[in-house]
Amino acid sequence: MSKKIPSLSVITANRLSDGAVVFLDFEGAWNTDFAQANIASSPDEVRALEDRGTYDAQRNIIVEPYLVELRELDGRLVPIRQRERVRIAGPSILAAVPGYVAPPVAEDEDITQEAA
């Protein structure tokens, strides 16, 4: 976890079972859709996100949680770092990958329950 508390952030991680990129959403679930991510806009809210990430990593729901700092750009909130923008959007070159098969669109599996 970053020592510096960013002001405007979401928390991301990888889903344990398949490694998919997930974000903590408004309902406290880990969601693959960045648009549903819960955005913290104060240091207390950021700390709460961090705590939840640590807790869910300990519960073996997600792996390697960390904060992603955002900024406003053209009326939208986007990550400051290109790395995180690529992480959200996925590989930029999939259209050129030979034989690429997109995964079937599925409802996010419920991974909010603690592993047995």
Partner 1 sequence: MYRYDEFDREFVRQRVAQFRGQVARRLSGELTEDEFKPLRLMNGVYLQLHAYMLRIAIPYGTLSSRQMRKLAHIARTYDRGYGHFTTRQNLQFNWPALKDIPDILDELADVEMHAIQTSGNCIRNVTADHFAGATAEEVADPRTYAEIIRQWSSLHPEFSFLPRKFKVAVNASDADRAAIKVHDIGLQLKRVASGGLAFDVYVGGGQGRTPLIAKLIKEDLPEEHLLSYLEAVLRIYNLEGRRDNKYKARIKILVHELGAEPFAAQVEAEWERIRNGALKLPQDEIRRIETYFALPVLRSDLPKAKLSAPDRGFERWVIRNTHTHRHAGYAIVTVSLKPIGGVPGDASAEQMDAIADLAERYSHDEVRVTHEQNLILPHVAKADLPAVYKALKAIGLAEANAGLATDIIACPGLDYCALANARSIPISQAISERLAAKQDVIGELKIKISGCINACGHHHVGHIGILGVEKRGEEHYQLLLGGSGAESTALAELTGPGFGPDGIVDAVETVVDTYLRLRRGPEENFLSAYARLGMQPFKEALYVAEAA
Binding positions for partner 1, rule: CB under 8 A = 14, 16-21, 57-60, 63-64, 80-83, 86-87, 90-93, 96-103, 114-116
Centroid of chain to Cα 47: 15
Q: Give the residue carrying structure tokens 């969601």.
A: 31
Please state, in angstroms and rounded to a whole number, the distance separating the CA atoms of residues 57 and 45.
18
CB of 1 to partner 1, least distance (A): 14
CB closer to partner 1, 75 vs 99: 99
CB of 42 to partner 1, least distance (A): 22
Residue 100, Cβ neighbours under 10 Å: how many? Answer: 10
